[in-house]
Amino acid sequence: MTMTVQTLAPLLTEKLLSSFGKTVDEATNKEVFQSICLLMKESIHPNWQTTQQKYVEAESKQVYYFSMEFLLGRLVETNLLNAGELDLYKDTLSSMGFNPEEVFHEELDAGLGNGGLGRLAACFLDSLSSLQLPGHGMGIRYKYGLFQQKVVDGHQVELPDNWLRDEYMWETKREEKAIEVRFGGTVETTYEDDKLVFHHHDYERVLAIPYDVPIVGFENKTVNTLRLWSAESTTNHFHFNSSRGHDYYHYLDYKRSVEKISEFLYPDDSYYEGKILRLKQQYFLVSAGLQSILRRFKKQYKCFDLLPEKIVLQINDTHPSLIVPELMRILLDDEGLSWEQAWKITEKTVAYTNHTTLSEALEKWPEAMIEDLFPRLYMIIHEINERFCKMLWFDFPELREQIPAMAIISYGNIHMAHLAMVGSFSINGVARLHTDILKNRVMKPFNIVYPDRFNNKTNGITHRRWLLNVNPDLADEITKTIGDQWIKKPEFLKNLQSFATNPELQENIAKVKHENKKKLATFIKDQYGITINDQSIVDVHIKRLHGYKRQLLNLFHIIYLYNQCIENPSLDLYPRTFIFGAKAAPGYTFAKHVIKLINAVAEKVNNHPHVRDKVKVVFMENYQVSLAERIIPAADVSEQISTASKEASGTGNMKLMMNGALTIGTEDGANVEIRERVGAENIFTFGLSSEEVFSHQHRGDYRARDYYNNDSRIKQIMDLLVNEHFSNDDVEFKDIFYSLLFNNDEYFVLKDFDSYISAQQAVELTYRNQSSWLQKSIINIAHSGYFSSDRTIQQYAKDIWNIKPQR
């Protein structure tokens, strides 16, 4: 039976009554939202059960994507869209007197991630289900997601993200599937029947409870699982001892220490901090996830030799790399396999994705910490290291000198990337340039030892969320022009290319963009009281705040324009609105200073009579998935200006091009592949290449000071930072000034300034020629199909996982 507004409205009315005792007139938006979820689950849950049963019956190989982060955002629209019911629900809600957007926005973002790495995991889940591939997520159900950001007097203030304060409608608690995870204690080794046996004593028991979230495929009835683990304590798991006093207090201590494990997500993107709790979280995820997978596996298959044929464990960066020794531990100690058997299986089951080459982000844990927390795993890591180093010594004499640099354990640290590489059958980077840098520089000796393991999988984004859902009017224009095949097969977007110069399409696309800008302008007016010109160029820089992402370079361009407008009040500048969205890690002082500077510059620019009608600057607070969804459809210019070689891929670049924004960017990460596809004339490339960056670093011949002394524009901008122009208390800005001059500008901001300014001038010039701009915009949309995560996931499925769709 196909549903209509006439059949759905009474169902929703009935749900409101039976669940909340409310009539339509009485119901709140939240109750309506929750009723929608309840109705949705009635159809999702049976499909979920069937999907899982099918996988078992077909003995399908299954992938488990282990990730410390899943940045899901809201699910209600995705689930409705994928069920093919989004429009139906929107119409029904409107007919009942509700505002669909307001109702959907009752769902709080699941912000269980920092940035790209977490959002990638979420896009991958969507593609796995939509392609009917047997693949599931394993993550942590943090009680608090990434902090909520407020801006107070231009400063970032962090507040807890209490996303579970209302019931999370999509999850199902599976108490009966709890797993015990063990920390600390001691290991006793004995000989039994000629075999070494390891007994683990005096450990702390932590109960891992899974909460399952259904991941609904697009119009296909496939429902996979995202399993999120929560650390809980129960009195059953605490040994009360009547001979000991104060047991109740011990219990409370124990309970608190257990619950801390899944309490919050660490807000540290691209910087590694050796925090013990973070390490506990990593093992908690790995051990609970793996035990639950192997329990299922054992129910169905008798022999562990089959494991690599039936299961793949894909690890999202090194964060879950303890999965290597944990799998070894289970196979050796619990299942009684020999080292050789266990290692053969492990090495064929685990696969590793690298997301960064920044040395400060590569995880190294002190040996003592690992030994204390996981004494048995420590022994196993030691053995893996011994065998690996021996193998290097005998099989790769040419690498002998490099053994200390390649060892898993060296100078008192355990190198997680080395552990991950040694224990995996696949090692992949996330964009071609990034993979090349891994192979030829950062992990070069490993590529000599394991040439077959290295491969590239250029990132992607789900076009269902990032085009169809966030920009329905653009999606309609596309469908009117080339038909709707692109929705299931995003590569068909290419067919737009031949319409790039079509005046009618250009005009319609311009109209859609303008409407989207008007919506964004209204939101900005409501939130911040800032009026933006909806005819201006909307230039967006949205991503985490980091030195290498160079929000500062963008800001220098803005200050340059500000100076120009003041010097020449009749300057003919095309009006531009600069939008920033960015959170800074709470301990990253420099990043926080840049936020302060953005806000200080905004204050000046937006109020200066000679500037404010030409340039506007808006720092949008609390950047998160749902805010990205508002900004991206309205964007004209996409800022992808990282120091070349530093951004592994970027995925915001893909979302923005898919919505018709033109990129201004360096030859970094996936920008390189975007440029290759759209053609050099449809992207604004500038700055040092990654090779040039490496060579300056190698030769040590960059002198930031020369740029300050020799480029009057740079000097003028930088002097404003330290002469109390932007704030009469400008210690923060002095700090930025010093980092550029006295720390020699680690990210080459001053070096790339001139070429960035020229590229920005080209942007303006092109924008003035609307038909040329729109042509480029359409070409960008046409080539964005390649950057769908459907393509990425198909490559993982074929080249790494060896899994097939299960229809």
In sequence order, which ranges of 260-338 are alpha helices (DSSP H)? 276-300, 307-310, 323-329
With a CB cutoff of 8 Å and minimum separation 6, the contacts of 530 are: 524, 606, 616, 618
Distance of closest approach, residue 668 Cβ to ligand 26W, in angstroms: 9
Q: Which residue is nearest to ligand 26W (CB)?
A: 116
| Shortest separation between residue 430's beta carbon and ligand 26W, angstroms | 4
User: Whose Cβ is closer to ligand 26W: residue 31's or residue 269's?
Assistant: 269
Q: In the bound complex, what is the minimum distance in angstroms from residue 318's beta carbon to ligand 26W?
A: 8
Maximum alpha-carbon separation in the chain: 92
Report, in Å, the least distance between residue 271 CB and ligand 26W: 6
| Catalytic residue of the set 355, 576, 677, 751 | 355
Question: Is 543 marked active-site?
Answer: yes
Strand partners, 409: 414
Q: Which class for 488: exposed (0-12), middle (13-18), buried (19 or more C-beta within 10 A)?
A: middle
Name which of 68, 12, 89 is nearest 355 in CA terms.
Answer: 68
> What is the C-alpha to C-alpha distance for residues 471 and 659, in angstroms, rounded to an integer?
8
3-state SS class at 386:
helix
Q: Which of 78, 349, 651, 666 is catalytic?
A: 651
Closest CB to ligand 26W among residues 115, 210: 115
Tell which residue, 649, 798, 796, 800, has the closest CA to residue 125: 796
C-beta closer to ligand 26W: residue 80 or 433: 433
> What's the closest the beta carbon of residue 367 comes to ligand 26W, in angstroms?
18
For ligand 26W, which is the closer residue by CB, 131 or 431? Answer: 431
Structural tokens at position 562: 């500000």
**Tokens 């209490």 appear where?**
162
Q: Catalytic residue at 655?
A: yes
Task: Single out the catalytic residue among 544, 576, 646, 791.
Answer: 544
Give buried/exposed letters for 686-699 (b at 16+ CB in 10 A, else e): bbbbbebbeeeeee
SS3 string, 446-479, reads: HHHHCCCCEEECCCCECHHHHHHHCCHHHHHHHH
Torsion angle of alpha carbons 796, 797, 801, 807, nearest 10°? 160
Active site residue 522: no
Which residue among the candidates 549, 583, 614, 675 is catalytic per the annotation?
A: 549
Closest separation between CB of residue 465 and ligand 26W, Å?
Answer: 16
Residue 501 is among the residues annotated as catalytic for this protein? no
Q: Which candidate, 435, 444, 491, places its Cα nearest to that of 799? A: 435
Query: Which residue lies nearer to ligand 26W by CB, 103 or 279?
Result: 279
- Considering beta carbons, is residue 55 or 266 the nearer one to ligand 26W? 266
Phi, psi of 268 (to 5 degrees): -140, 90
Q: Which is nearer to ligand 26W, 71 or 131 (CB)?
A: 71
Interface ranges with ligand 26W (CB under 6 A)? 114-117, 120, 268-272, 317, 355-356, 361, 363, 430, 459, 647-651, 669
Q: Shortest approach of ligand 26W to residue 353 CB, angstroms? A: 7
Cβ neighbours for 235, distance < 8 A, ≥ 6 positions apart: 251
For ligand 26W, give the closer residue by CB, 671 or 780. Answer: 671
Cα angle for residues 504, 494, 680 (degrees, 5° grid)? 90
Q: Which residue is catalytic, options 655, 675, 751, 776? A: 655
How many Cα atoms sit within 13 Å of 210 on the Cβ side?
Answer: 24
For the bound state, the minimum distance from the C-beta of residue 354 to ligand 26W, rounded and expressed in Å, comes to 8
Q: Which residues are catalytic?
A: 355, 543-544, 549, 651, 655
